[in-house]
């Protein structure tokens, strides 16, 4: 079987990550303007799809193929390239037309091709039994997440775009992609590279807790003690699993102590989000919701992927990136307090913070591209 060098696989998440980050910076600049002659929602859709699928999905797939198979075969690589064409199509189509014929076509094709790609991955996975189960759990969550997009069409046909069910369909997809498939794949690589031994019970607890955590999204539209209880129990179970990893912390390789700290923070935040008072704050404050998604993306996934990149990243780059991420999170969590202190519009401060984040991403990603072409 011919095996494709993973250096070729890394090129696509690196480039799409850079493009997606640039779109994010442009979006932040547009938010500083009082009048816009361009539908900013189109940019937001393009940015979110490129970062979610072009960067995160691609990068995690490279890591899973690297650590849990003998390497990606030629046929699977062709499906991988087909996915990149779809992401490129989404990048352009969402900017030019928003949710319309071509953007829906490319996103649907990406979803269908990903099914075949992941089935081929499923058949090639090897390693310890429980870690294999974890990787397969992530694949199952990917399939489950696609129920959300499939619901959007019928809801639009029945003019239910403004109903709670439409937003719940979006939340369903995001939860089982972001907090399901992506987090589980990250955990699989993390556990393998730290030699942490997990049991079948761990896998079941992780799976059930992630399913139960979807109730945090239901809180947006439904207020019931049972929903909050399920969310609370699920959060506590996931945090308990993360805490159980602490016994192996001495064996963590460089950078993994930080990742473990963020995982613990993620678990603690999930527990706090189970309390009605905190949940209400997030439901009524768009900035807090963005802070949560950006915390997962900027503080967990990007550093984890950078640690696994076959390049060295200077301490100064890590420091600058970390400072701007902390600044952006502070602005999103406490915009009024920061404004009263600095008397500067939050939109401009957020632009400055994301400019720093974009600059750091550019340094790392361009360094990898230069290294790749030198070889």
- pLDDT tens digits, one per residue of 344-353: 889 999 999 9
Residue 357 clears pLDDT 80, i.e. is over it: yes
CB atoms within 10 A of CB 253: 10
Q: Any idea which residue has 């095996």 for tokens?
A: 3
**Among 333, 332, 322, which Cα is nearest to 356's?**
322
Residue-wise pLDDT for 183-223, tens only, equals 999 999 999 998 888 999 999 999 999 999 988 877 665 66
Q: Which residues pair with 3 in a beta bridge?
A: 73
Q: What is the mean pLDDT of residues 288-316?
A: 92
Q: Are 72 and 112 in contact (CB under 8 A)?
A: no
Angle between helices 286-294 and 276-284 (to 10 degrees): 100
pLDDT, residue 289, reads 84
pLDDT, residue 69, reads 93
Distance CA 306, CA 103 (A): 29
Q: What is the mean pLDDT of residues 42-68?
A: 95
Residue-wise pLDDT for 77-134, tens only, equals 999 999 999 999 999 999 998 888 899 999 999 999 999 999 999 999 998 999 999 9
Token pair for 172: 């369903």
Token pair for 307: 């640690």
**Does the pTM exceed 0.85?**
yes
- Helical H runs in the chain? 6-30, 40-49, 58-68, 74-97, 101-124, 129-145, 147-157, 164-174, 183-194, 200-212, 215-218, 225-244, 256-272, 276-284, 286-294, 302-308, 315-333, 335-342, 346-374
CB atoms within 10 A of CB 147: 12
């Amino acid at each position: 079987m011919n095996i494709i060098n993973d250096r070729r696989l890394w090129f696509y998440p690196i480039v799409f990550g850079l493009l997606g980050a640039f779109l994010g910076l442009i979006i932040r600049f547009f938010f500083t303007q009082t009048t816009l002659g361009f539908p900013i929602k189109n940019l937001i859709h393009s940015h979110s799809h490129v970062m979610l699928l072009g960067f995160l999905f691609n990068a995690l797939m490279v890591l899973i193929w690297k650590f849990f198979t003998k390497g990606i075969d030629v046929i699977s690589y062709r499906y991988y390239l087909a996915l990149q064409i779809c992401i490129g199509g989404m990048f352009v189509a969402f900017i030019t037309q928003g949710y319309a014929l071509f953007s829906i076509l490319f996103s649907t094709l990406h979803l269908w091709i990903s099914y075949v790609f992941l089935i081929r991955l499923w058949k090639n996975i090897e390693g310890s039994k429980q870690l294999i189960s974890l990787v397969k759990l992530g694949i199952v969550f990917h399939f489950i997440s696609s129920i959300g997009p499939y619901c959007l069409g019928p809801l639009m046909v029945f003019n239910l775009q403004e109903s709670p069910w439409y937003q719940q369909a979006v939340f369903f997809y995001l939860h089982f992609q972001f907090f399901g498939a992506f987090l589980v794949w990250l955990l699989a690589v993390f556990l393998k590279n730290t030699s942490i031994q997990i049991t079948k019970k761990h896998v079941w607890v992780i799976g059930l807790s992630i399913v139960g955590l979807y109730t945090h999204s239901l809180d947006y539209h439904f207020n019931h003690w049972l929903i909050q209880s399920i969310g609370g129990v699920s959060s506590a179970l996931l945090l308990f699993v993360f805490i159980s990893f602490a016994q192996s912390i001495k064996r963590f390789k460089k950078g993994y102590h930080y990742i473990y700290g963020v995982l613990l923070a993620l678990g603690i935040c999930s527990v706090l989000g189970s309390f009605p008072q905190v949940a209400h704050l997030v439901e009524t404050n768009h900035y807090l919701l963005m802070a949560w998604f950006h915390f997962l993306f900027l503080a967990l996934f990007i550093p984890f992927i950078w640690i696994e990149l076959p390049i060295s990243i200077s301490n100064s780059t890590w420091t600058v990136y970390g400072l701007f991420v902390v600044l952006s999170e502070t602005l999103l969590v406490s915009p009024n307090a920061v404004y009263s202190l600095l008397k500067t519009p939050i939109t401009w401060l957020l632009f400055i913070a994301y400019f720093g984040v974009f600059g750091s991403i550019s340094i790392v990603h361009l360094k990898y591209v230069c290294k790749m072409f030198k070889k």
